[in-house]
Structure 1
Amino acid sequence: MKDILIITSYFPPETGAASNRMFHLATGLEKQKYKVSVITPLPNYPKGQVFESYRGKFKQTTTENNITIHRLWLYASNSKNKILRLLAMLSYSFSLICFFIFNKTPNKVIVQSPPLLVAFTCMLFLRRKKRRLILNVSDLWPIAGLELGAFKRNFNYKLLEKIERFNYHKADLILGQSKEILAHIKTMFPEKEMFLYRNFPDFELPTLSKQQESNPKITIVYAGLLGMAQGIYKLCKALDYSNITFHIYGGGAEKEKIINFIADNPNLPITYYGEVPREELHKLLLNYDITIIPLLNRIYGSVPSKIFEYARLGLPMLYFGGGEGETIIEKHQLGWVAHVGDYKNLNLTIQSIRKEDFTLKKRLEIQQIGKRYFDFNSQLNLLTKLF
């Protein structure tokens, strides 16, 4: 049996796209007869507090689904204070260094990036000729931080660029979740071995049935992180509600602002349901007409994994994020595209949508597209040939 280690900053019981992505990768490799171990912090995302059942622990090692999981201490924080956020990353890096010193590391290691500093720690301390380092790049930092307004082009930004280059240079194989990510890395290291590794989900396709026409308005649902990048609070304020109802699931930094906005505007048809387990959420999503996938600003290299998840659910999508995601929606006819950041165009797009666009036949077509083009196991089979 071949040993492989996955190092990630997010893993269940944490929720979200990053956690799901790394969980599916770990379980998929285990099914392919790899002996999988995972290093991850004590669960703390997205609230920035270690989950209650893990508090007071410096380290915990468990075996779950035949996967060995090492949960390491960190100073948990999701503060907007950059120093506290940096301290959180450095604390996890310190725990990683201690782990590397006192434990044997397999010859195949998959490192998740971002966070850049965590990836840098791994690439620095694990590099040696016989070890194959595989860097899984899900977002381009520091570019994404610059586009989100988190960074400015100063000395710190240039330092992060150097760290980014170091990580790519030391990787033996680079996985990128978008073509834009791989194109960006190729400008620096054109000879580097790379693989387009999309964030495909791994779950059984649900059985679709004809919906009951109980609501004359179009029901739009958002499910996911309520963070600054998604801009759900601004979306709540900008939507034209004349022909829609808006339903929100999830948690994050904007949660309280959204709850307060709904309370201050009881006449608007917005409902917030809180956070719901993923399996339950999949069942709930099938009750809505369409889902919206927004980004406050276009982020180079970003392709929301929701696209692939919702396709397999057979759920029509309204994409409002720009970039490569637009191309995927349009190419596979998965729904509608509105110009990122243009709320007037978004409302005009919504006005063009009709109830007859959500027939069972159309949903089944979307689901079959998801099954054919966004298959997790087919992609994993191609990836493991490169290991």
Structure 2
Amino acid sequence: MKDILIITNYYPPETGAAANRIFHLTEGLQKHHFKVSVITPLPNYPTGKIFKGYKDKLKHISTEKGVKIFRLWIYASNSKNKLLRLFAMLSYSFSLVWFFLWNKIPKTIIIQSPPLLVAFTSVLFLRSKKRKLILNVSDLWPIAGLELGALKKNFSYKILEKIERFNYKNADLILGQSEEILSHIKSLFPEKDTFLYRNYPNFEPVNIMHKEKTKEKLTIVYAGLLGVAQGIYKLIQHLDYTHIEFHIYGNGAEQEKIKTFINNNPNSPIYYHGEMSRNKLHKALLQYDVTIIPLLNRIYGSVPSKIFEYARLGLSIIYFGGGEGETIIKDNQLGWIAKSGNYNDLNKVIAEVKSFHIDFELKQKIKKTALRNFDLNIQINDLIKKI
């Protein structure tokens, strides 16, 4: 049985795409007889506060479903203050260094990036001819930070670029969640060994039931992080509600602004349902006609994992994020595309969807496509050959 260590910033009981992605990776590796261990901070995402049961601890060690998990101290914060967020990253990096000094490290290590500083710390201290470092790149930082408006092209940005290149240069294998990510890495290091590793989900899809249409309005749902990148607060201000209802699930930085907008506009057909467990959410989503996947700005390298998750449920998708996600929607016939950032075009597309008959057969077709084309087990099998 081969030992493998995964270093990540996110892991259950935290929720969201990043935590789910690493959890499914550990499951897949276990099935192939790897002895998996995980290093992660004390759970705090997305609230920026240490979860109940883990507070006032410097570390927490447990074995969950056969995986040994080391949860290390972090100064938890989701503050908009850049210095506080930097200190949070540095605090976890310090905990990692302390762990590396006092523990035996396996010869095969998967390191999640971003955060860049955490990945840098891991690569810097663990690089060795005796070890294989695998960098799992889910977003292209600092480029993504620039496109989100979180970073500016200054001296600090140049430092982050150097860190990014250091990480790529010293990794033995790089996993990228999109073709754009791999193209960017190849442009810097043409000989680097890379592998396309999508954020495919791994859950038993809920049965789709025949259901008669009872409402005249098109019911649209968004479920996920209510962060700045998703732009749900701006979205609800620009939608044409003449023939639609909009339902929202999740939490995040824009949650209170969204709730305030709904309270101030009681006649608008916008409904916020809070956060649900993943299993309950999947069942709830099936009652809606169509789902929307928005990004406030097109982010190079980003492919929202919701594409694969919603498709597995048989949900038709309105995609409003640009980039590689558009190609995936088109190639797999998963729904409709609105021009990124163009809310007039989005409302036109929604009007088109309203006139389209979304029936049981269409949902089944989307679900079958997802099960065939977005198979995590096949992806894991191919990854094992590279490890």
Q: Report the TM-score range of the alignment, normalised by the length of the smaller protein.
A: over 0.9
- What is the deviation of 1:356? 4.6
How big is each residue's C-alpha offset from its partner over 1:274-332, in whole Å with a ceiling of 9 and x where there is no partner?
11001110111111000000000000000000001111110000000000000100111
CA distance in 2, matches of 1:222, 1:114: 25
Separation in structure 1 between the aligned mates of residue 185 and residue 66 of structure 2, nearest angstrom: 35
Equivalent residue number for residue 167 of structure 2? 167
Count of aligned positions = 387
Q: Given residue 296 of structure 1, which amino acid in structure 2 is its aligned partner?
A: L
% identity of equivalent residues? 65
Amino acid at match of 2:292: I
Match for 1:374: what amino acid?
F
State the distance in 2 between where 1:368 and 1:132 align: 37
SS in 2 for 1:353: helix
* Equivalent residue number for residue 68 of structure 2: 68
The equivalent residue for 1:339 is: 339
Tell me which residue corresponds to 2:382: 382
Asked whether the equivalents of residues 77 and 85 of structure 1 are also in contact (C-alpha less than 8 Å), the reply is yes
- Partner amino acid for 2:269? P
| 24-33 vs 350-359, greater mean Cα deviation | 350-359
Following TM superposition, by how much is the alpha carbon of 1:383 offset from its aligned partner in structure 2, in angstroms?
Answer: 0.3
* Alpha-carbon shift at residue 208 of structure 1 (Å): 1.1
- Counterpart AA for 1:106: P
1:44-123 alignment runs, 5 A limit: 44-123=44-123
Q: Following superposition, which runs of at least 4 residues in structure 1 exceed 6 angstroms of deviation?
A: none
Q: Which residue number in structure 2 is paired with residue 222 of structure 1?
A: 222
Indicate whether 1:208 and 2:187 are aligned: no
What secondary structure is seen at the aligned counterpart in 2 of 1:186? Answer: helix
SS in structure 1 of the partner of residue 175 of structure 2: strand
Separation of aligned partners in 2, 1:45 and 1:206: 27
* C-alpha displacement of 1:210: 1.2
What SS class does the counterpart of residue 357 from structure 2 fall into? helix
CA offsets 1:121-176 (integer angstroms, 9 cap, x no match): 00000000010000000000000000000111000000000000000000000000
Aligned to 2:361: 361
Aligned to 2:219, the other structure's residue is in SS state strand
**Partner Cα separation in structure 2 for residue 202 and residue 353 of structure 1:** 29
Match of 1:137 in 2: 137
Secondary structure in 1 matching 2:182: helix
Separation in 1 of the partners of 2:355 and 2:15?
A: 32
Task: Give the partner amino acid of 2:218.
Answer: I
Segments of structure 1 that go 5 or more residues without pairing to the other structure are none
1:153 is matched with 153
3-state SS in 2 of match to 1:54? coil
* Paired residues of 1:218 and 1:355 also in contact (CA < 8 A): no
Tell me the distance in 1 between the aligned counterparts of 2:361 and 2:157.
50
Deviation of 1:205 after TM superposition, in Å, equals 2.3
Q: Deviations over 1:168-209 (max 9, x none)?
A: 000000000000000000011000000000000001122111
- Structure 1 counterpart of 2:268, which letter? L
Cα-to-partner distance string for 1:35-61 (whole Å, 9 max, x where unaligned): 000000000000111112100100111
Please state how far the C-alpha of 1:353 moved relative to its aligned partner: 1.2
Residue in 2 that maps onto 1:325: 325
| 1:247-277 CA distance string (max 9 Å, x none) | 0000000000000000000000000011100
Cα distance per residue 1:207-262 (max 9 Å; x no partner): 11112322111100000000000000001110000010000000000000000000
1:153 alignment partner AA: K
**What amino acid is aligned across from residue 325 of structure 2 in structure 1?**
G
The amino acid that maps onto 1:299 is I
Shift of 1:31: 1.5
Deviation of residue 354 (structure 1)? 3.1
Q: How far apart are the structure 1 equivalents of 2:357 and 2:160? A: 46
Question: 1:52, 1:214 → 2: CA distance?
Answer: 42
The secondary structure found in structure 2 opposite 1:358 is coil
In 2, distance between residues paired with 1:170 and 1:76? 29
Q: What SS does the corresponding residue of 2:213 show, helix, strand or coil?
A: coil
Matches of 1:65 and 1:256 in 2, distance apart?
36
Amino acid at match of 1:5: L
1:203-352 correspondence runs (5 A)? 203-352=203-352
Normalised by the length of structure 1, the TM-score is 0.99
Shift of 1:337: 0.2
- Counterparts of 2:206 and 2:375 in 1: how far apart (Å)? 15
- Code of the aligned partner of 2:340: V
